[in-house]
Amino acid sequence: MKSKREQERRRPTAHKRRAVRPPRFQRGYVLAVANQKGGVGKTTTAVSLASSLSEMDCRVLLVDFDPQGNATSGLGVRPEPASPTVYEALSEMVPLSTVLLPTAQPNLLVAPANINLAGAEIELVSTFSRETKLRRVIEPVRADFDIIIIDCPPSLGLLTVNALCAADGVIVPIQCEYFALEGLGAFRRNAELIRSQLNPRLEVTGFVLTMLDSRTRLSQQVVQEVRNHFGDRVFQTRIPRTIRLAEAPGFGQPITEFDPSSRAAMAYRRLAGEVLDRLLQGQALTLTDGYRQEVAR
């Protein structure tokens, strides 16, 4: 039996709704969450951002693009064994629209993934325009969403390349630990190559510091080092290391549902606000007329 205080703390409250009307993008803005390093908080960030943005009344699609399927299970979605997933859409067996599943939040849909997606990485090798397959698969559903978030696997392989070719922007989570910047040089070179050869729209929306333990000197050093490297591309919001974030996936709930008033939920809501602000600054031309007028006023 939960205490009254605990129940009170968990009740979704006014912070769920923003006073400001959310932006409506003419075509969904595609945002990849990527870093080839494993366990840095990509999926946690993708799921929590998707949920926070949908709380703000954005229409959000989360594309699980990792064969581990963590984003799918993290949202409490369990596809039937025979039902199609992102893999079938990528293999052109079905359109993406037929694989989308609802979540507990009305504005948030998920394109689920499972281990079959690992096969796609191999099958794609011999496909025509193999790097831009996901972009073509997403295109028909783009206008149905404001933001489409892609959770990438921990590699620089063909799946991540496809995600970056489909994306307008990429968010890179960086864990506040030793070797935080390790591999980021290779990631940036890869992203630059994709931008110059395959997807000129691609921009780095920002770097987000995750699993921050502000009491330790190590965390402070990493924050400083990342800021020295990436300057104002680093989001102001830092995600604290909290046990609640580690527990939430086990309950199949994003942190904003699992513990709505926790520090971590608040941090991800702030991050979602920052992301929206950056998209509005950089993407004004893709906004619908109505919203553009509202912004201009």
Contact residues: ligand ATP, CB under 6 A = 38-44, 66, 68, 70, 154, 210-211, 239, 241-242, 245-246, 249
Q: H or E element: which one contains 108?
A: strand 108-111
Q: Which does 109 bind (CB under 5 to 8 A by kind): Mg ion, ligand ATP, none?
A: none
Q: Which does 39 bind (CB under 5 to 8 A by kind): Mg ion, ligand ATP, none?
A: ligand ATP
Q: Which does 253 bind (CB under 5 to 8 A by kind): ligand ATP, Mg ion, none?
A: none
Minimum distance from CB of 154 to Mg ion (Å)?
Answer: 7
Minimum distance from CB of 265 to ligand ATP (Å)?
Answer: 11
Distance CA 259, CA 263 (A): 9
Q: Which strands form 147-151's sheet, in the order they lie side by side?
A: 101-102, 108-111, 60-64, 147-151, 29-33, 169-175, 203-210
Closest among 22, 71, 15, 68 to 249, alpha carbons compared: 71
Say if CB 186 and CB 67 are below 8 A apart: no
* Residues binding Mg ion: number (CB under 5 A): 3
Q: Which does 76 bind (CB under 5 to 8 A by kind): Mg ion, ligand ATP, none?
A: none
Torsion of CA 59, 237, 64, 192, to 10 degrees: 110
Say if CB 260 and CB 13 are below 8 A apart: yes
When the beta carbons of 174 and 287 are compared against Mg ion, the nearer one is 174
When the beta carbons of 42 and 269 are compared against Mg ion, the nearer one is 42
Q: Which does 96 bind (CB under 5 to 8 A by kind): ligand ATP, Mg ion, none?
A: none
Minimum distance from CB of 87 to Mg ion (Å)?
Answer: 17
Distances in whole angstroms, Cα of residue 75 to Cα of each of 39, 54, 104, 109, 284 = 18, 13, 8, 10, 31
Q: What is the identity of the amino acid at 263?
A: R
For strands 169-175 and 29-33, give the pairing: parallel
Minimum distance from CB of 34 to Mg ion (Å)?
Answer: 10
- The interface with Mg ion within residues 62-91 (CB under 5 A) comprises 70
When the beta carbons of 22 and 169 are compared against ligand ATP, the nearer one is 169
- The interface with Mg ion within residues 6-65 (CB under 5 A) comprises 42-43
When the beta carbons of 135 and 238 are compared against ligand ATP, the nearer one is 238
Give the binding site for Mg ion (CB under 5 A): 42-43, 70
